[in-house]
Amino acid sequence: MGIHDISMIDVTGKKITQRSAMAKAHIHMSKDTLSLVKENKIPKGNVLTAAQTAGILAAKRTPELIPLCHPLLISGVTVDFDFMEKDSCIEITSTVNGDGKTGFEMEALTAVSIAALTVYDMCKMFDKRMTISDLRLIKKTGGKSGTYLAERY
């Protein structure tokens, strides 16, 4: 294999185990924009419903978006939102579960990324200075490597 070649990891010999991954991200916005989202007053519609739907769809389509991800049979995806008034942001959390030979980390990270981008898209008419930050894996379970829990959680 040359320096610029890529290849998908062969998981043929791995055992199917129950797996789970949780990821989080934040989208920071002005206090006024945060209030509009909370009060469901964004003209495009319900921001959190649209972002939740987009996140779930994104988790299911991860192998189409990231070239070396394996297609996985997902049992469940959640995308949840918490308003963090003090920081003027929305914390987005996704959990992805299923049985497989490889983990669901990329699906959970993709879900929160696309959910955050959907919030941005729906709110940009009011706040072009929004920022998306702190995209990270919080926890993963299953597989040979066992459980991973991010240090600050």
Each residue of 98-124: pLDDT tens digit?
A: 999 999 999 999 999 999 999 999 999
d(CA 101, CA 82): 32
What's the structural domain count of the chain? Answer: 1
- 127 domain-assigned: yes
Q: Which residues constitute the domain of residue 24?
A: 17-142
- 93 domain-assigned: yes
Choosing from 5, 82, 87, 121, the catalytic residue is: 121
Output the CA torsion sign for 111, 126, 38, 32.
positive
pLDDT of the residue at 153:
58
Query: What is the total residue count of the chain?
Result: 153
- 10 domain-assigned: no
Is 121 among the residues known to form the active site?
A: yes
Kind and range of the H or E run holding 141: strand 131-141
Ranges of residues in the chain with a pLDDT under 70 are 1-2, 153
- 5 domain-assigned: no
Pick the closest to residue 123 from 55, 56, 34 (CA basis).
34
pTM of the model: 0.94
Side chain identity, residue 38: K
Side chain identity, residue 26: H
Q: What is the pLDDT of residues 10-26, one digit of tens each?
A: 999 899 999 999 999 99
- What's the CATH code of the domain at 106? 3.30.70.640
